[in-house]
Chains A and B, each alone.
Chain A
Amino acid sequence: MFQRLREDKALQGTLLILPTLAVMVGLLIIPLGLTLIISFGQRTADGGVIYTFTLDNYLRLVGITPGCGFKSECFDPLYANILWRSLTLALQTTALVILLAYPLSYFIARAPLKRRNTFLFMVLVPLWTNFVIRVYAWMMILRTQGVLNGILGWLANLLGLPFVPLEMLYTPSAVLVGMVYEFLPFMILPIYTSLEKIDPALYEAAADLGANAARTFLRVTLPLSMPGIVAGTILVFIPVMGTFIVSDILGGRQVILIGNLIQRQFLDARDPTFGSAASLILMVMTLIVTYFYTRKFGFGEEIVAV
């Protein structure tokens, strides 16, 4: 028996992936199958599920009221808007995070070796406090009587200008700010890693061959750091699509995302069938975007000329 285990590479491999496989099947594949089945069911008045096959839940999500037909007055964009808002907010967040993370990563990657670790440490420090607490901190900052308005008011007072506190909390921008803040480290780390791997002699070679700083960046630095951007985008975009805590705390009832929708269907509205359908739509949307993205840019492996 042990003799066979020592020699049979395939058997070794099977044994090694077995625990993960068990977890994946038990906690991912089976629940996903159940979700799929439930999403085609009907809710009962007390929040139970009748297992039938109906597309009503999906039709409601794209704005078609079941039993009303395909007339324009039957179109209810409520949920379609939520889907659209979730997608655009996730794309905006990812784009903003790239724009903020790139210069910072570049700065850290080119700092002297000793300082780099200090800077990376500082990037990671916020992650030691609880996610929810950090979002609440933003609430303190953005509230009408919050820190930011306090500072602005003090400045306005100093300059003798009239000041009305800004309504910043419970707006899409507040949610955007919170998301960008929460997910920034997940973009900084992969971009830093790919920038740090670039041999500084390449910058010198580019300069030597006649490239100024801008052209060196566009032709050498950026292409060689694409793997970091791609990996970071995957790490940021996917969780942002599904998050509900940030929008819950900083968006309130004004900024409902698909994550909030799903959460409410299960906990408040007690409609697991609709919640399941929304979960699957979220998954499909995320997969579609990720699929086209990775088809164009890969998964962040090193790029080699072909």
Chain B
Amino acid sequence: MSEFAVELRDVVKTFATPEGGKLNAVDHVDMHIRQGEFFSMLGSSGCGKTTSLRMIAGFEWPTEGEVFIDGQPQGRKPPFQRPVNTVFQSYALFQHMTVAQNVAFGLEMDKVDVNEINRRVSEALAMVKLNGMEKRSPRQLSGGQQQRVALARALVKRPKVLLLDEPLGALDLKLRKEMQLELKALQQEVGITFVFVTHDQEEALTMSDRIAVMSRGKVLQIGAPVEIYERPNCKFVADFIGETNILTGQVRSVDGTHLKVYVPDLEAEVSAVAESQFQPGQPVHLSIRPEKIRLAEERSLNENCFAGNVIQSAYIGSDTRVKVKVGKIVLKVWEQNHISTLDPDAYFQQNEQTWATLFPENTLVLPFEEG
């Protein structure tokens, strides 16, 4: 058994566009998905997630590069010869078959013996909590139940890898949250590698062991949710996952991982940390998350403490979301409401003078990007 359940090695997929041009829907992508991992591909619509998944399933073949499943190069193998199964976004259930017949379909294709089929079908339906629904038509089920049939139909084949293309996209918010937890629990129970596609960052953060953040056919960063959020490797990832404040400046001095960056909009130097190498004089971005900025009435003795003016304040229960004008920049700041009080002064008021502290260890230096 290979260390990796699925590998994409330098994979490119080129499509002809309707305008007669060419488009790399997937552009030199490398992914190494470990055995038993819950792996998500995250990115906005059109970034190449579905195309990547379809190349693993065998519905598309790479223009360049190679897909490996359990260490085996897949070449141009058709889908029915690959040890993976897919849960389709539209569920793609067979309307002319009952729930049980849908689930049995894959086993019948493998010529599994009838008793064994019956046993495994009821096992799979029990796993997704659909016992008693065997004889129903998919049409007589709710969206969430259809989703479970699709899941049971794929899992009953005990694939090496289960591919899921935005499987929760059609469900309402409450059901989606429930299914997220259930799906994650199910994955841990069966121990099968899940490759999960979503454009919902919260969903990816909640469920995944690791996430690949994609944009325009490229993988920008692969890492655990905490790495992706706390140590984004570029402005796009920092911006795409959660919310952040982006400042632009120029490196003044470098001392190991500690940098001083001059930010013209603040007319000041900001201390920050970097994960990669930068040279003095280089243009860079700084990223700091709104919940990591501290506001105070008095100037603190910390580095990076700037005078500001509250221009907007919204009380949202757990937090107060504040916009603070510092120099020429408007910073988003989320202050947790630690203390229970009705005193309006405890929350931030418009036009209030304040001091904003950007702790250096929370301020991340990222490579400069146009736009």
A binding-site residues for B, Cβ under 8 Å: 199, 201-202, 204-212, 215, 219-220, 223-224, 302-306
Contacts and interface: CB of A to CB of B under 8 A. Distances in A.
A202 B138 CA distance: 13
A305 B137 contact: yes
Interface in B63-80: 78-80
Contacts of B157: 209-210
Interface stretch (B89-97, B175-183, B296-304, B350-358): B89-97
B110 interface: yes
Contact of B92 (A201, A212, A224): A201
A114 to B, nearest CB: 10
Interface string B35-66: 00000000000000000000001110000000
Which 9 interchain pairs have the tightest Cβ spacing?
A: A210-B109, A209-B106, A205-B92, A201-B92, A207-B79, A305-B137, A305-B98, A210-B80, A208-B86
Nearest to A211: B109
Contacts of B235: none
A9 to B, nearest CB: 28
- Chain B, interface size category, equals 20 to 34
A224 B138 CA distance: 14
Given A206-B105, A209-B85, A305-B98, 20 more contacts: A199-B92, A202-B92, A205-B88, A205-B93, A205-B94, A207-B59, A207-B79, A208-B57, A208-B85, A208-B154, A209-B154, A211-B105, A211-B109, A215-B109, A224-B96, A303-B95, A304-B95, A304-B96, A304-B137, A306-B98
B80 A199 contact: no
Contacts of A202: 92, 94
Contacts of A206: 105
A224 B79 CA distance: 22
A199 B109 contact: no
A204 B106 contact: no
Contacts of A201: 88, 90, 92
A219 B109 CA distance: 10
Contacts of B59: 204, 207
A193 to B, nearest CB: 16
Nearest to B104: A209
Interface in B82-125: 84-86, 88, 90, 92-98, 101, 105-106, 109-110
Given A206-B105, A207-B80, A208-B57, A305 B85 contact: no
A306 B100 CA distance: 11
B153 interface: yes
B139 interface: yes
Contacts of B78: 207, 212
Nearest to B137: A305
A209 B88 CA distance: 12
Given A210-B80, A210-B110, A204 B92 contact: yes
22 contacts: A199-B92, A204-B79, A204-B86, A204-B88, A205-B88, A205-B92, A207-B79, A208-B79, A208-B154, A209-B105, A209-B106, A209-B153, A209-B154, A210-B110, A210-B157, A211-B105, A212-B78, A219-B105, A304-B139, A305-B94, A305-B97, A306-B98
A210 B106 contact: yes
Contacts of B106: 209-210
A113 to B, nearest CB: 11
Most B C-beta atoms less than 10 A away, residue of A207, A219, A302, A305: A305
A223 B96 contact: yes
B96 A305 contact: yes
A212 B79 CA distance: 9
Nearest to B90: A201
Nearest to B139: A304
B162 to A, nearest CB: 11
A26 B85 CA distance: 62
Contacts of B80: 207-212
Contacts of A207: 58-59, 78-80
B148 to A, nearest CB: 15
A199 B98 CA distance: 18
A221 to B, nearest CB: 11
B296 to A, nearest CB: 56
Nearest to B95: A304
A219 B110 CA distance: 14
Contacts of A219: 105
A224 B58 CA distance: 24
Interface in B143-163: 153-154, 157
A52 B90 CA distance: 67
Contacts of B154: 208-209
